[in-house]
Structure 1
Amino acid sequence: MDYATHYDVGDRKRDGGINEDSVAVSVFEQGHREGFRGYDCEGRDGERADDGQPGEDSTGEDSTEDRPDGRTDGPDDATDGDDASDDSPESDRDPDNRSAAVFALADGAGGHDAGDAASYIATTAVCERLAGTAVRAARSEPEGFDVAVDEPLAAPPRDEDLESAVAEAVVAAHREVLEYAAAAGEQAHATVVAGLVVGGRCHYGWVGDSRAYVVNAARDEILPLTTDHAVVQRLREAGEIDDVEALVHPRGNEITRAVGGSGRADPETATVDVETATVPLYREDVLLVTSDGLPDAQTEAAKLYEWYVDAGRDEEMAAVVRDRAVTDDEIREAVLSAPSLADAAERLVELANDRGGKDNLSTVLLHDGTLPPTPEDPPARAAGAEAPVEDRETLVEHD
């Protein structure tokens, strides 16, 4: 599994401001039998990399950079050592390795005393609690390596078990932040997006308005996995504002839910409502987690909002707003056009700062090129999508 992170204080805060965002990632990589045999060498359109020979980039030089869309523009890893002598075509072989990952991103609330401390505590506390869960979940399925082991391995956890583990980790972090706030005599709040990726599925939870997306190269799409716990989201759901207003609304920095607080709550029993979900991941997916410094980067948001409303919300002014704000389509393009996850992370920071750099920005990007390819008709994965029939619980209504 590949991952990249990037964080920036934001252009508006560059002189004298501090970055109150925090990120944490822990990856467990396991190989067995013949070992890692390389990622798929085909691009998203089924063509060989750069329309040339495998392992050669457009300049004719070797490249080992793994692309976010699942292709490798570099030499096949399996050419090293005796493992390359297998007669079967490399593209027909399943990779003999697998990954599990834990991630957490938190955005400290800048209007409070210790947002930076809250985000640091939240990300480290969550990953500390989930890292072992991810490893146990990965090792509970030895048949993936054609190994027969029953006892003493635990049975593979269910989706709901892993979602509960994520929620419990976030609640534990909430209590740690409250404990810190009480001891320091300060207010400490943060948003959190956290989860674990194992067995080709992402189990995640969130509090606040930091976001998670899946960007898929095979379908050229971006899917929001979270919905903001924020005033603007409530107004949007109530039909009081439209999608264009939501991009630049003056209340875009107001959240309705956060980890931490003033410390007045009992740190031993306090809780927070963590929204959770599970989605499958595919070879062409990039999992993107970001603070609101990306979608809310526009420093002239209030002015754009006023212009749009004064213009009667007409389409011409809507186009101006979309052009100046950061949209999901621009995020998708920045990720899919980048040659690597690290470049994608850097481009997202540049995009936010080009639009004003209103706030701190942090990102986490993860990609697993060993997963199965995207099916022709994948299940709905966007936040709010209706679950497949086979995943719904049966309800019995009594007369």
Structure 2
Amino acid sequence: MNYATHYDVGDRKRDDGINEDSVAVSVFEQGHREGFLGYERDSASADDGDDGDEGDESGDATDRTATGDGAGNRSAAVVTLADGAGGHDAGDAASYIATTAVCERLAGTAVSAARSDPAGFGVAVEDSLPPTPRAGDIESAVAEAIVAAHREVLEYAAESGQQAHATVVAGVVVGGRLHYGWVGDSRAYLVNAARDEILPLTTDHAVVQRLREADQIDDVEALVHPRSNEITRAVGGSGREDPETATVDVETATVPLYREDVVLVTSDGLVDAQTEAAKLYEWYVEAGRDDEMAAVIRDRAVTDEEIRDAVLSARSLDAAAEGLVDLANERGGKDNLSTVLLRDGTLPATPDDPPPRAAGAEPALEDRETVLGESG
């Protein structure tokens, strides 16, 4: 499994601002029997004259294929990103506490889920191991970890007398699936090279998202809306809640992963980079929301399509992570920006007709929980 991270304070805050984002990644790698199968470039990329040294360090985002079926090695990972809410006293502390607390709690979940399935190594120890957890079990563990982080941030806020809020995205990658949860407007995406697509995995807990869902603004307005900095859900708070019992509503989901997928987790500084957003919004409304002005906004804002292209065109995950930060800063660098990119080249190839995986899609058939229906 390959991953890369990159984080930046943002051009507008470079002189006197602080970075309130935080990331944490924990990777579990296991090899047995056959040894590490590794990766190799396919025949098309092997002739491009690039020796690929840098790609060997970070994992190539687009052109690596597994040399086998992955039976000799496997990976599990925990990925966490938090964005401290700007304008509050201790957003940086909130994001630090959130990422470390979530990662600490979920690392054991990831390892336990991986070791509960020894069949791939041909080791007959199933009877002495706990059963393989269901998707719903791991989603619940993600939600519980975020709630635990929420309580830790509240405890810090109460002890310090400061307000401390942060958004959180957290995921467990194990067994060819991503089990994830989120609070706030930091985002997770899947970028798939085989299908040349980007799929949003999260929907923002934010005012602009509510306005879009209510059809009060269109997709172009959402790119530059003046209220883009207002979230409707976060971990932490003022410390007035009881840290022992406080909770937060965590949205969760599970999606299958394939060899050509890159998991991208990012703070909102990537898509909310435009420093002239308020002016562009005003021009768009005054122009009657016409196509010409819409094109201007799409050209100046950072769109999902540009994010996809930046990831797929990068020679490595490191280059993709750095390129996304550069893209946001070129468009204004309005806010702090953090990215985490992860890819597992030992997974099966993307099928011709993969299940729907974007936010709001029905879960894959194998991930649906059995429920008791009404008798009729």
Alpha-carbon separation, structure 2, partners of 1:94 and 1:368: 10
Q: Does 1:320 align with 2:296?
A: yes
State the 1:296 CA deviation: 0.4
Q: For structure 1, which runs of at least 5 residues remain unmatched after alignment?
A: 73-89
1:321-336 correspondence runs (5 A): 321-336=297-312
| More moved, 4-13 vs 386-395 | 386-395
- Contact 2:71 2:120 (8 Å CA) reproduced: no
Deviations 1:292-342 (A, max 9, x none): 000000000001111111111111110000000000000001101001100
State the 1:388 CA deviation: 4.5
Percent identity, please: 78
Deviations 1:179-232 (A, max 9, x none): 000000000000000011000000000000000000000000000000000000
State the 1:160 CA deviation: 0.2
Alpha-carbon separation, structure 2, partners of 1:63 and 1:5: 18
Aligned to 1:85: none
State the 1:41 CA deviation: 3.1
Aligned to 1:58: 49
- Contact 1:67 1:341 (8 Å CA) reproduced: yes
Match of 1:143 among 88, 97, 119: 119
Tell me the C-alpha RMSD between the 2 structures.
1.6
- Contact 1:190 1:260 (8 Å CA) reproduced: yes
Q: Tell me which amino acid in the other structure corresponds to 1:36.
A: F
- Residue 64 and residue 37 in structure 1: after superposition, are their counterparts in 2 closer, same or farther (change >3 A)? farther
State the 1:111 CA deviation: 1.1
Alpha-carbon separation, structure 1, partners of 2:206 and 2:118: 42
Alpha-carbon separation, structure 1, partners of 2:152 and 2:231: 20
Alpha-carbon separation, structure 1, partners of 2:374 and 2:219: 37
Q: For structure 2, which runs of at least 5 residues remain unmatched after alignment?
A: none
- Contact 1:38 1:95 (8 Å CA) reproduced: no
Alpha-carbon separation, structure 1, partners of 2:375 and 2:15: 64
1:16-35 correspondence runs (5 A): 16-35=16-35
Deviations 1:245-297 (A, max 9, x none): 00000000000000000000000000000000000010000000000000000
Q: Does 1:192 align with 2:168?
A: yes
Match of 1:396 among 369, 373, 376: 373
Deviations 1:334-377 (A, max 9, x none): 10100110000000000000000000000111011011110000
The count of corresponding residues between Structure 1 and Structure 2 is 372
Aligned to 1:49: 45
State the 1:2 CA deviation: 0.6
Q: TM-score, length-normalised on structure 1?
A: 0.90
Match of 2:242 among 258, 266, 277: 266
Q: Tell me which amino acid in the other structure corresponds to 1:38.
A: G
State the 1:58 CA deviation: 1.2
Aligned to 1:86: none
State the 1:70 CA deviation: 4.7
Q: Tell me which amino acid in the other structure corresponds to 1:197.
A: V
Aligned to 2:343: 367
- Contact 1:69 1:283 (8 Å CA) reproduced: no
Deviations 1:150-173 (A, max 9, x none): 232101000000000000000000
Aligned to 2:191: 215
- Residue 348 and residue 92 in structure 1: after superposition, are their counterparts in 2 closer, same or farther (change >3 A)? closer
State the 1:393 CA deviation: 5.3
Q: Tell me which amino acid in the other structure corresponds to 2:49.
A: S
Structure showing greater radius of gyration is 1
Q: TM-score, length-normalised on structure 2?
A: 0.95
1:1-399 correspondence runs (5 A): 1-42=1-42, 47-50=43-46, 52=47, 57-59=48-50, 61=51, 63=53, 65=55, 66-71=59-64, 91=67, 94-388=70-364, 391=368, 396-397=373-374
Alpha-carbon separation, structure 1, partners of 2:321 and 2:178: 20
Q: Tell me which amino acid in the other structure corresponds to 1:255.
A: I
- Residue 305 and residue 38 in structure 1: after superposition, are their counterparts in 2 closer, same or farther (change >3 A)? same
- Contact 1:40 1:369 (8 Å CA) reproduced: no
SS at match of 2:77: strand
- Contact 1:70 1:283 (8 Å CA) reproduced: no
Q: Tell me which amino acid in the other structure corresponds to 1:20.
A: E
Aligned structure 1 segments of 4 or more residues deviating by more than 6 angstroms: none
- Residue 92 and residue 123 in structure 1: after superposition, are their counterparts in 2 closer, same or farther (change >3 A)? closer
